[in-house]
Structure 1
Amino acid sequence: MTEDGGALPLTLQALHQLRQEILSCDLLPGATLSETAASQRLGLGKAPIRAALARLAEEGLVGSVARRGWVVSLITIRDIHEVFDLRLLLEPEGARRAAARTDPSARRQLEALLSAEAPPDSRALHQAIAVLSGNTRLAQGVSRLLDESSRMLAFAARHGTDLPEEPADRAALLQAVAEGRGVEAARLIYDRVWSLRSAVLAALTAPEAATPV
């Protein structure tokens, strides 16, 4: 549904639902995706399903395979290194830039996050800080990396890996940004991303893991 209560265009409905199934690993890496089966499961026509799969192929989440239709992209060790290495480059810089901003709009956004009854979840927190950096392309890049790493984390969890617990007080990171402590904010976000990277690599390089290198 859209914010005004209207229905999303059918292609966007299909795109949203299929992307969520892939990111949550309800559709596992390597799984075959039939347009007919997806159409029946989601209650949508084949045309929006086909268009959504083409969009997901552009995002690297599925691939087209001759005589097999569509296949959910595998997660490789190289993928893990590349995704988390980029997060380690972009997110600390985003936190430093967010902490350095003093314009009224950025301050209002920070105040809203800090005064919320419940702190944002981990993904929302990382995305919010990237947006607060003021660099639109950095925020867009982080958003895509968060999607890719969330699939890796979901896959690791299915291997029985105990992922690092969320910080007890996520507000500490936001407080560091709000108070202009950019070095501390960068360190906090770097440490969190590094711990997630280490956990995913440990899970998917274990002898019982079936993830290709």
Structure 2
Amino acid sequence: MSFLAPIAVPAPLTARALQALREDILAARLAPGETLSEAATASRLGLGKAPVRAALARLAEEGLVQPVPRRGWVVSLVTVRDIHEVFDLRLLLEPEAARRAARHPHARMGAEALARLDAVCAAGYRPEEAETALGFLEANRAFHVAVAELSGNARLARQVGRLLDESTRMLVLGLRRRDRSGEMAHEHRALIAALVAGEAAQAAELMQAQVAASRAMVLEALTAPDAGLAV
């Protein structure tokens, strides 16, 4: 007898609506605080109201939207508290992951894969195009998760991945105001060198600096006078 609840797999139309809405929210095409009507959203996506409603309910579980009585749904705000909570956890976990990765016997082999991911990060990012920002951040996420995986702790890598998922929308908003992609690519290369050399303390320090710089970029974007976002 199994005590594990079955994993609910979205129906095809719901999955299609879920993917489209999640990407729109993460890319900030649907802005924080924007109201979503089920009927209007269904019409825009060319779907029925039922899969759209199911997709919005799933996004509510992820914290990306909130139901509002008699208004429909509202895209969740990004707040200063959200940013600090996510980046505080990243600063606790990722430097330690980098420290352990530098001590791992397979660090040199892993560095080759990291270099390939860094090349993807460095290619084709244009701040004015949300799609390229998402592509860049997807590669950046893969890079950071790969570093955490080199630590040898699978649970640590999964937690880092979840935090990076939460920070995606924050980073999209930050990159719109300040293109830090070039700096991030330089930081990646320095981190790869530290991992290859087995410099654990330096690897942790470089990761700490990179995550802190990303938080500063996001906070600057969110708290700018013309940002139009609630803090």
Alignment TM-score, normalising by the size of structure 1? 0.81
Shift of 1:80: 1.2
SS state of the match for residue 26, structure 1? coil
Q: Which amino acid aligns with 1:96?
A: R
* Corresponding residue for residue 101 of structure 1: 104
Does 2:73 match 1:86? no
Q: Distance in 2 between matches of 1:170 and 1:21?
A: 28
Indicate how the Cα distance of structure 1 residues 42 and 97 shifts in structure 2: closer, same or farther if over 3 A, else same. Answer: farther
Q: 1:163 to 1:78 in 2, by over 3 A?
A: same
What amino acid is aligned across from residue 75 of structure 1 in structure 2?
Answer: V
Counterpart contact for 2:118–2:140, Cα < 8 Å: no
Report the Cα distance in structure 1 between the residues aligned to 2:72 and 2:143, rounded to whole angstroms. 37
8 Å Cα contact 1:14-1:42 kept in structure 2? yes
Asked if 1:52 corresponds to 2:55, the answer is yes
Other-structure match for 2:167: 149
TM-score (norm 2): 0.76
SS in 1 for 2:184: coil
Which 4+ residue blocks in structure 1 deviate beyond 6 angstroms?
A: none
Corresponding letter in the other structure for 1:46: K
Counterpart in 2 of 1:182?
200
2:154 is aligned to 136
- Secondary structure of the corresponding residue to residue 152 of structure 2: coil
* Residue 127 of structure 1: aligned partner: 145
Aligned to 1:11: 14
Code of the aligned partner of 1:124:
A
User: Structure 1: which 5+ residue stretches go unaligned?
Assistant: 1-7
1:207 aligned counterpart, secondary structure: coil
Distance 2:99 2:111 in 1: 14
> Which residue does the alignment assign to 1:111?
112
Q: Distance in 1 between matches of 2:214 and 2:42?
A: 35
| Alignment partner of 1:196 out of 197, 214, 218 | 214
Any conservation in 2 of the 1:77–1:211 contact (CA below 8 Å)?
A: no
1:4 is matched with: none
3-state SS of 1:12 partner: helix
Distance in 2 separating the partners of 1:113 and 1:199: 24
Is the deviation greater in 72-81 or in 35-44? 35-44
User: Aligned AA for 1:90?
Assistant: L
Question: Are the counterparts in 2 of residues 63 and 72 from structure 1 also a CA contact under 8 Å?
Answer: yes
Q: Deviations over 1:73-103 (max 9, x none)?
A: 0011111111111111111111122223226
Q: Which moved more, 1:168-177 or 1:189-198?
A: 168-177
Letter in 1 for 2:41: A
Could you tell me how far apart the structure 2 residues matched to 1:76 and 1:82 are? 10
Aligned residue in 2 for 1:3: none
Distance in 1, Cα, partners of 2:167 & 2:111? 25
Match of 2:127 in 1: none
| 1:66 matches 2:69 | yes
C-alpha RMSD over aligned residues: 2.6
Instruction: Give the corresponding residue for 2:124.
Output: none
Quote the offset at 1:116 in angstroms: 6.9
Equivalent-residue separation in structure 1 for 2:173 and 2:162 (angstroms): 17
Q: Percent identity?
A: 58
1:185 Cα deviation from its structure 2 partner: 1.4
Q: Residue 34 in 1 paired to residue 34 in 2?
A: no
Q: What is the aligned residue count? A: 203
Whole-angstrom CA distance in 1 between matches of 2:79 and 2:187: 32
